[in-house]
C-alpha cells in the first residue's frame, strides 16, 4: 500500500495494534543498544537483561524489515524511517527501581547515546537490505517534547512533575542524529529550538498553527527547513476532497509571501498524526489524498 500510494517517499509502516512491542515506545526500545526493556503494569521499564517483551519487540521489527525488503528490493529513491525521539522516550520509560528515566540526567545521557547508535545501525541495515535507497529520511517522533521543556511531565506516581529540561540539552541530543525530521503533533512546537538544533524538517499538525507562529515558520522556510504539514485526520471513513487537503498549505504560503514555485519543494502533506488508528481502507484513501493534494501544490499553487 505504501509503495503504491506514496512512491515518491515511501516509508516503513508502524502497526501498533499488533500489541506489546509494536507500539511507538516498544518498537524504538528494540533499537536501543545494551539497554533492554520489559513491560510492567505502569508501562515500559528498563530491565537487567532482555526478556520476552524485549524479544517480542525485536521480532516485530525484524518481520517488518523482512517485508520491506521483499516489497522494496528493486526500489530506487529516498525512504523514510521513524523512531520515537529521545525525550519522549525518556519521559515514557521507567528506571528499573524508580521514576521515569527523564528524572535522572545520567540515565538520559545513556539513553540518548544508545538510541543514536541503535538508529544508526537500523539505518545501515535498511541500506544493506535495500541497496537502491538513495537517501534515508529519519523522522524522530517527539510528541512529548513540549512537556519535557515546560516541566509538565508527571512523575511515575502521578503526584508530581519532573523538572523542565534546558533547551540546550535537547539541541545537543538532536545533533547526534543525522539531520532528522522532528515530528511533534502537540501544541507549542519548539520551532526556534529545532531550528538551532539543525533539523532538516519539522512535522506538525497544521490545525494547531497560530498566526503568531508564522514569523518563525517564515524563518524556517528562509533557512530551507522542510515542513511536513499534517493536513487531514488520521482516522475517519473518507478523507476530505483534494482541495480541502491542499488548502492549509496554500493559504499559509500565500500569507508568508514566498514564491509559489518553492512550495512543492519545501512542503510535504501528511496525515495530522499518523494512521495508527485508521482502517486499512481509510489509510489507503488518506495516502492517496495526500499524494493528489501534493500534485495541486506542484502543478498550480497560485490558482488551485
- CA distance linking residue 294 with residue 177, whole number of Å: 28
Do residues 14 and 276 touch, judged by C-beta distance below 8 A?
A: yes
Q: 206 and 132 in one domain? A: no
Asked whether residue 8 is assigned to any structural domain, the reply reads yes
- Of 290, 295, 296, nearest in space to 1 by CA: 290
- CA distance linking residue 95 with residue 110, whole number of Å: 12
Q: 242 and 124 in one domain? A: no
pTM: 0.94
Do residues 18 and 66 touch, judged by C-beta distance below 8 A?
A: no
Question: What are the beta bridge partners of residue 259?
Answer: none
Exposed, middle or buried: residue 301 (CB in 10 Å: 0-12, 13-18, 19+)?
buried
Residue 73, CB-side half-sphere exposure with 13 Å CA sphere: 5
Quote the pLDDT of residue 303.
45
Q: How many other C-beta atoms can be found within 10 angstroms of the C-beta atom of residue 167?
A: 14
Do residues 271 and 286 touch, judged by C-beta distance below 8 A?
A: yes
| Domain region containing 8 | 1-158
Pairing verdict, β 43-46 and 181-183: unpaired
Out of 104, 124, 158, pick the residue that ends a domain: 158
Out of 129, 158, 187, pick the residue that ends a domain: 158
- CA distance linking residue 189 with residue 146, whole number of Å: 6
**Three-state secondary-structure class, residue 78:** strand
> What is the total count of domains within the chain?
2
Do residues 13 and 2 touch, judged by C-beta distance below 8 A?
A: yes
Report residues of the chain scoring pLDDT below 70. Answer: 300-304
- CA distance linking residue 124 with residue 136, whole number of Å: 10
pLDDT per position as a tens digit, 159-168: 899 999 999 9
Asked whether residue 163 is assigned to any structural domain, the reply reads no
Q: 153 and 5 in one domain? A: yes
What cell was used for 199?
A: 533539523
Q: 152 and 90 in one domain? A: yes
Quote the pLDDT of residue 199.
97
Asked whether residue 194 is assigned to any structural domain, the reply reads no
Q: 102 and 11 in one domain? A: yes
What cell was used for 259?
A: 514564491
Q: How many other C-beta atoms can be found within 10 angstroms of the C-beta atom of residue 224?
A: 11
Contacts of 246 by beta carbon, 8 Å cutoff, 6+ apart = 231, 269, 293, 294, 296, 297, 304
Q: 246 and 141 in one domain? A: no
Q: 113 and 1 in one domain? A: yes
Amino acid at each position: 500500500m505504501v509503495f503504491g500510494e506514496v512512491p515518491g517517499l515511501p516509508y516503513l509502516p508502524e502497526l501498533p495494534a499488533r500489541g506489546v512491542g509494536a507500539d511507538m515506545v516498544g518498537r524504538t526500545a528494540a533499537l536501543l543498544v545494551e539497554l533492554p526493556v520489559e513491560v510492567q503494569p505502569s508501562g515500559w521499564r528498563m530491565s537487567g537483561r532482555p526478556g520476552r517483551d524485549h524479544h517480542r519487540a525485536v521480532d516485530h521489527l525484524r518481520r517488518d524489515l523482512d517485508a520491506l525488503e521483499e516489497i522494496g528490493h528493486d526500489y530506487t529513491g529516498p525512504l523514510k524511517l521513524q523512531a520515537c525521539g529521545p525525550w519522549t522516550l525518556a519521559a515514557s520509560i521507567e528506571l528499573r527501581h524508580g521514576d521515569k528515566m527523564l528524572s535522572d540526567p545520567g540515565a538520559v545521557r545513556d539513553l540518548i547515546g544508545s538510541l543514536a547508535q541503535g538508529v544508526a545501525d537500523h539505518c545501515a541495515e535498511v541500506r544493506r537490505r535495500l541497496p537502491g535507497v538513495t537517501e534515508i529520511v529519519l523522522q524522530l517522533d517527539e510528541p512529548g517534547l513540549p512537556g519535557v521543556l515546560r516541566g509538565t511531565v508527571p512523575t511515575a506516581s502521578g503526584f508530581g512533575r519532573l523538572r523542565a529540561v534546558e533547551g540546550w540539552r535537547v539541541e545537543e541530543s538532536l545533533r547526534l542524529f543525522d539531520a532528522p525530521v522532528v515530528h511533534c503533533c502537540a501544541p507549542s512546537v519548539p520551532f526556534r529550538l529545532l531550528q538551532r538544533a539543525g533539523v532538516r524538517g519539522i512535522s506538525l499538525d497544521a490545525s494547531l498553527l497560530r498566526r503568531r507562529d508564522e514569523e518563525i515558520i517564515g524563518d524556517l522556510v528562509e533557512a530551507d527547513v522542510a515542513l511536513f504539514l499534517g493536513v487531514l485526520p488520521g482516522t475517519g471513513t473518507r478523507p476530505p476532497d483534494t482541495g480541502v487537503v491542499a488548502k492549509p498549505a496554500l493559504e499559509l504560503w500565500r500569507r508568508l509571501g514566498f514564491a509559489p514555485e518553492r512550495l512543492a519543494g519545501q512542503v510535504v502533506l501528511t496525515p495530522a498524526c499518523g494512521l495508527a488508528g485508521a482502517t486499512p481502507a481509510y489509510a489507503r484513501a488518506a495516502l492517496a489524498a495526500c499524494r493528489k493534494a501534493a500534485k495541486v501544490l506542484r502543478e498550480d499553487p497560485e490558482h488551485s
